[in-house]
Amino acid sequence: MLINLILLFVLLSAAVWTVMTTRLIRSIVGLAFTSAVLAAVIYRLNSPLAAVFELSVCAGLIPVIFITTVSFTHRISKEELPVARKERLVRFRYLPFIIIAAGLVLSWCFKIPQFNLPAAGPKEDVRNIIWYLRHLDLLGQIVILLAGAFGVVVLFKEDK
């Protein structure tokens, strides 16, 4: 009971700090910490599979994507903002049509497999579910985490 109260207090404190901080990187780290504590709370509520996915996706994957996004951005002055908006709209005006066309062509050329996974029973081991039933999800997470690690390297790279 005491551990649950401590975890909930830490969760609330981390969530408030995440929202109230003014720097993006600190907010992203706070989000990862909040998700890690939430994963511990979910595990304590006897739902280990949900805790594993909370920890891997929300505490690992999402902050890496956010940090990568922040690393590719730079500040724009108020004078440059209207010009940048106009350039962005002109540059990407055909992108939605290209994405829709590519999706239609790919779905027409390749038959997308249907993954009918059996439902896990209450006695199913989390390790078996992750490694044998959800291995494609795990592979996708590994690829995105490696891409995020590359983004972090770019973020902290010093210019010569």
Q: What local confidence, expressed as pLDDT, does residue 80 receive? A: 81
Contact 151, 70 (CB under 8 A): no
- Going by C-alpha positions, the residue among 56, 21, 20 that lies closest to residue 36 is 56
Query: Domain map of the chain by residue range?
Result: 1-72+129-160
Q: What is the pLDDT of residues 11-70, one digit of tens each?
A: 999 988 888 887 888 889 999 999 999 989 888 888 887 888 888 888 888 888 888 888
Q: Is 151 a residue whose pLDDT tops 70?
A: no
Q: What is the per-residue pLDDT for 74?
A: 74
pTM for this entry: 0.53
